[in-house]
Chain A
Amino acid sequence: MERLREKPGLKRELGLLHATMIGIGGAISAGVFVMLGYAVSLAGTTVVIALVLCGIINLFTMCSYAELGAALPKAGGEYTFAKVAYGGFVSFFTGWFEWISNMFFAALSAVGFAYMIPYIIPINMPLTIVAILAITVIVIFAAINIRGVKEAGTAEAIMIIILLVILIAYIFGGISNPKTETFQLYAPEGFLGVVRATAYIFAVYLGAEAVAVAQAEIKNPSKTIPRSILLSAGVLIILYTVIAYVTLRIVPIESFSGESAPIIFAAEQAMGKLGTGILVIAGTIAALSSLNTSIMAQSRVAYALSRDGYFPKALLQVHHKFSTPHIAVVVGSIFTAVLAATGVINFVGYATDFGFIIGFALVNLSLMKLRKEKPLLNRPFKVPLYPFTPIAGIVTSLFLLIFIDPGVLSLGIVLCVLAVLAYYIRMVGYLRFRVAFGGISLGLGGFTAILTYLIAKGFMPFIDASPIMITAIIFILLFASIIQIIAGILNVTAKSNTF
């Protein structure tokens, strides 16, 4: 009974190294190994400038994260900032995008890991094996995240240190290679090409704000949070720019278009098969580290949303022994596994960028509102050049949205609508929520009944199906239709509030 009465909370166990590695690991994913090719086709060798520009744009908003993270070091990151600044729908909207973006990113990383395996072990990889591998790593990293934040942070630190060692070896190997080309700035599409490349390759910087999400578990938050956020942002600028520079010196610009992973190709040119092997391992580690960070991030956002009543209270439970939000980790990991297994992620995964960029704009807006309305809030770190820096963060974030693919924008609008629906449903209470789902069940029942009728009348021809199979399908659909309609009636006529 004593154990039940105690309410364990999240523990502050992450130091500067752990927090910085979470930031770097959150951003470096398998994407960096493949995105350089298309960016070079847009900007030529000036992709190096595009990467620095991206880093500066990222830094504007990271300064806001640093100030707000140090001033409000509670679980939830952007969601918590928006909650204190605006509350209500804006905070829910921010948390919603943060939650789903991290789940999409985790699923993308798991699938990215699975696609790296054939480079290490030369085997045929049907989609089923890809799905099984992706689910397996999601389960493993969910278990690590449940085991403890320190364990997850240590796993992240080890992976990122190995990754950094490999990338630094690649940089030195590339620089010392006698066959390197002379580097000259060249932009085939002029300034517009550089701008388009900047918008495209900005995705490689997304994810570094994971430090803010785990801020409730960071030791000495007033100093460690701003330091780790700014340190990881700085390391990423240097790392990406130097990698691009080295790659462009090894691989002639005209060879980029045919390479799906130009960095791996460059490593092979500079260091032979050994270089390929090492860089493939680096890509695998990058995918796993971003998976680890995303699982941690989504669970902390779900925890914070649950704490404030937007998500079910079950997600607020903290494991008695490990002090981690284990239910939130499991629920988010199930959604992530479903996304990774179905393959929908190839399409929906682009929403990740949209969600993160929206989050950037909202964090800068939160900073400006809090500076105005809560001037006495203790701020161990202050954004330099205020208000220029957050305004630049907002403007550049919105600018990036203009250049984003129209398909992604429409998907983002769908996600906004879903957020509005989820907020409204939560606010109207359990009974109305249940009645609404009763209505949906009735609709699904009617839809299934119409489908059954169409199949029975032969309006939906099956090519290779035998008459027995068609009869079986009709009966299954008829059964499903009846169940949906009865369940719908029961939910619509429900009167008691059992939530």
Chain B
Amino acid sequence: MGLAQSAIGALATVFAFILYHNFLGIQAVLNVTANDVILYMLILIVFGLLSIISGLFLVNEQ
């Protein structure tokens, strides 16, 4: 469970990077304006980091 949560966190962080650099025109697909990218990216990074830390607690327990 910890690994799954950490993996989700890592994917969210990677997705923030993809969104910022607009790989495959992802911003248009998700209807994200250029002005809002930073906000979305911050939310994704915070989500990702918190998930990674929380997941590591469970990994550490095993």
B-binding residues in A (CB < 8 A): 127-128, 131, 338, 341-344, 347, 434, 437-438, 440-441, 444, 460-465, 469, 480, 483-484, 486-488, 490-491, 494, 496, 498
**B5 touching A441, Cβ below 8 Å:** yes
When the two chains form the complex, which single residue of A128, A463, A487, A496 contacts B55, counting CB atoms closer than 8 Å? A487
Query: When the two chains form their complex, are residues A463 and B45 in contact, meaning their CB atoms are under 8 A apart?
Result: no
A29 to B4, CA, bound (A): 41
Cβ of B35 under 8 Å from chain A: no
Instruction: Please determine whether A342 and B20 come into contact, CB atoms closer than 8 angstroms.
Output: yes
Contact, CB under 8 Å: A342 / B41: yes
* Total inter-chain residue pairs, C-beta < 8 Å: 77
Chain B residues lying within 8 Å of A460, measured Cβ to Cβ, are: 31
| B38 touches which of A344, A440, A496 (Cβ 8 Å) | A344
What's the minimum C-beta distance from A119 to chain B, rounded to whole angstroms?
22
| A490-B45 contact in complex given A438-B54, A444-B51, C-beta closer than 8 Å | no
| Nearest Cβ on chain B to A364's Cβ, whole angstroms | 34
Q: Give B residues with C-beta under 8 Å from A.
A: 1-2, 4-5, 8, 13, 16-17, 20-21, 25, 28-31, 38, 41-42, 45, 47, 50-51, 53-55, 57-58, 60-61
**Is chain B's interface secondary structure helix, strand, loop, or mixed overall?**
helix
Q: Which residues of A contact B5 (CB under 8 A)?
A: 441, 483-484, 487
Q: Please measure, in the bound complex, the distance between the C-alpha atom of A132 and the C-alpha atom of B36, giving whole angstroms.
A: 24
8 sample A-B contacts, Cβ–Cβ < 8 Å, listed by A number:
A131-B17, A437-B50, A437-B53, A441-B51, A462-B31, A463-B28, A487-B4, A494-B61
Nearest CB in chain B to that of A448: its residue: B47
Which among B17, B42, B57, B60 has the greatest number of chain A C-beta atoms within 10 A? Answer: B57
Tell me, in angstroms, the Cα distance from A463 to B13 when the chains sit together: 23
Contact residue among B1, B31, B61 (Cβ-Cβ distance under 8 Å from A461)? B31
A469 contacts across to B, CB distance below 8 A = 29
Given the complex, which residues of A lie within 8 Å of B45, measured CB to CB? Answer: 338, 342, 344
Q: Are B51 and A491 in contact (CB under 8 A)?
A: no
Interface pair B51/A462, CB less than 8 Å apart: no
CB contact between A491 and one of B8, B16, B20, B57 (< 8 Å): that residue: B57
Output the nearest chain B residue to A433 by Cβ-Cβ distance: B57
A437, B4: Cβ atoms closer than 8 Å: no
A383 to chain B, nearest CB (A): 41
A487 CB, nearest partner CB in chain B, Å: 4
Complex: chain A residue closest to B37, CB-CB: A343
Provide the bound-state CA to CA distance between A338 and B31, in Å: 25
Distance A343 CA – B58 CA, assembled complex (angstroms): 31
Q: Tell me whether B17 and A341 are in contact (CB under 8 A).
A: yes
Give chain B residues whose Cβ lies under 8 Å from the Cβ of A344.
38, 41-42, 45
Residues in B neighbouring A444, C-beta threshold 8 A: 47, 50-51
Cβ of B57 to closest chain A Cβ, rounded Å: 5
Judging by beta carbons under 8 Å apart, are B51 and A347 in contact? Answer: no
Distance, CA A463 to CA B16, complexed state (A): 19
Please tell me if the beta carbons of B60 and A491 are within 8 angstroms of each other in the complex.
no
Inter-chain contacts of A441 with B (CB < 8 A): 5, 50-51, 54
CB within 8 A of B21: which of A128, A440, A498? A128
B61 near A440 with CB under 8 A, answer: no
Cα(A440)–Cα(B53), bound, Å: 11
What residues of B have a CB within 8 angstroms of the CB of A480 in the complex? 8
CB distance from A136 to the nearest CB of B (A): 16
| A484–B47 alpha-carbon span in the complex (Å) | 11
A462 to B28: give the CA distance in the assembly, Å: 8
- Say yes or no: B17 contacts A494, CB within 8 Å: no
Asked if B16 contacts A483 (CB within 8 A), the reply is no
Contacting pair A343 B20 (CB below 8 A): yes
* B8: chain A residues within 8 A (beta carbon): 480, 483-484
Distance of A132 Cα from B20 Cα, bound (Å): 14
**CA–CA, A483 and B25, complex, Å:** 29
Nearest to B49 among chain A residues (CB) is: A338
Pairwise interchain contact B57-A434, C-beta atoms closer than 8 A: yes
Give every chain A residue within 8 A of B53 (Cβ-Cβ): 437
Q: Are A491 and B58 touching (Cβ within 8 A)?
A: yes
